[in-house]
């Protein structure tokens, strides 16, 4: 789908509600580092704004943008948020949480944290109306959801997830607000991986951002894993590792 159509997709999705919230994650398939999710909330007014018309066409799935393009968009998103034209938040699930909850559970945890910075789950609860229970209009209003919004998530529908949502496979190439969330998540995580590179030198986190490039694999074979590596993702690779202390023993006689 062409980028200029992302805005049109969202204009259709926002019909009947006041807000549209796009959610995406980054780092799910990496060997190291956290998984990061982001949520970006927009209004119809924003989707019809000059920025969306003139600049929104540059937004795309973050994987298809250069680092420079992502950073430029990040700066523009910050300015939009500062003026209240969009609202954005991100959530992080650590390597330890990935080990406890598995990568899917940790991804849902990061998404919950991202959405929680905008609205709590109970704000989206749909409850059956029972007129006899209410003694005033104020009580009736308090009984209904606080926010009129639709949540769009990139990927497949999430089971046991507290927020009602609609999922779209490759949604970051279909929806403007999901694509914006993918940029926020990607820039956030990339910056985290640069910081981890300084704490754990030798692995090249600043370059490959924790993904399983051949350079990263070779570094793990040479150095072993560090605390930021996801052990379950590295079992096969670590089994191939040869302890440097054994190198002389394994070397053929001269």
Total length of the chain: 254
Residue 98 near residue 106 (C-beta atoms within 8 A): yes
Q: Return the DSSP state at 58.
A: G
- Average pLDDT in the chain: 88
Please give the domain boundaries of the chain with CATH numbers for all domains.
4-199 (3.30.420.10)
Q: How far apart are the first and last CA of the chain?
A: 62
Q: Is the per-residue pLDDT at 247 higher than 70?
A: no
Q: What is the pTM of this model?
A: 0.86
Q: Give the pLDDT of residue 180.
A: 98
Look at 30-39, 56-65, 139-148, 232-241 and tell me which has the smallest mean pLDDT: 139-148
- d(CA 212, CA 199) in angstroms, rounded, equals 19
Backbone angles phi, psi at 226, to 5 degrees: -110, 175
Residue 38 near residue 90 (C-beta atoms within 8 A): yes
Q: Give the pLDDT of residue 144.
A: 52
Q: pLDDT (tens digit, 9 = 90+) per residue, 106-162?
A: 999 999 999 999 999 988 865 444 444 445 544 444 445 578 899 999 999 999 999
Which of these, 144, 188, 207, 232, lies nearest to 35 by C-alpha position?
188
Which of these, 112, 114, 120, 171, lies nearest to 147 by C-alpha position?
120
The DSSP element (H or E) to which 143 belongs, if any, is: helix 137-143
Q: pLDDT (tens digit, 9 = 90+) per residue, 13-38?
A: 999 999 999 999 999 999 999 999 99
Q: Locate 148 and state its tokens.
A: 């009129």
Q: pLDDT (tens digit, 9 = 90+) per residue, 182-192?
A: 999 999 999 99
Q: Give the pLDDT of residue 140.
A: 47
Q: Give the pLDDT of residue 15.
A: 95
147 Cβ contact partners less than 8 Å away, ≥ 6 residues apart: 18, 19, 119, 123, 124
């Amino acid at each position: 789908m062409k980028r200029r159509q992302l805005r049109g997709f969202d204009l259709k999705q926002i019909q009947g509600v006041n807000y549209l919230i796009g959610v995406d994650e980054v780092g799910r398939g990496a060997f190291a580092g956290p998984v990061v999710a982001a949520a970006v909330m927009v209004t119809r007014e924003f989707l019809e704004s000059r920025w969306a018309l003139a600049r929104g066409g540059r937004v795309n799935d973050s994987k298809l943008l250069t680092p420079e393009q992502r950073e430029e968009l990040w700066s523009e998103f910050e300015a939009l948020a500062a003026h209240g034209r969009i609202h954005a938040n991100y959530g992080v699930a650590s390597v330890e949480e990935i080990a406890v909850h598995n990568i899917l559970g940790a991804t849902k945890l990061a998404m919950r944290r991202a959405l929680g910075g905008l609205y709590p789950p109970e704000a989206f609860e749909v409850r059956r109306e029972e007129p006899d229970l209410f003694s005033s209009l104020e009580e009736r209003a308090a009984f209904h959801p606080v926010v009129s919004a639709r949540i769009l998530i990139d990927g497949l529908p999430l089971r046991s997830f507290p927020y009602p949502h609609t999922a779209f496979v490759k949604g970051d190439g279909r929806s403007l607000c999901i694509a914006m969330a993918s940029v926020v998540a990607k820039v956030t995580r990339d910056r985290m991986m640069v910081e981890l590179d300084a704490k754990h030198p030798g692995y090249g986190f600043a370059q490959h951002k924790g993904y399983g490039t051949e350079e990263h694999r070779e570094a793990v074979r040479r150095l072993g894993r560090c605390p930021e590596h996801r052990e379950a993702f590295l079992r096969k690779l670590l089994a191939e590792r040869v302890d440097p202390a054994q190198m002389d023993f394994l070397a053929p006689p001269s």
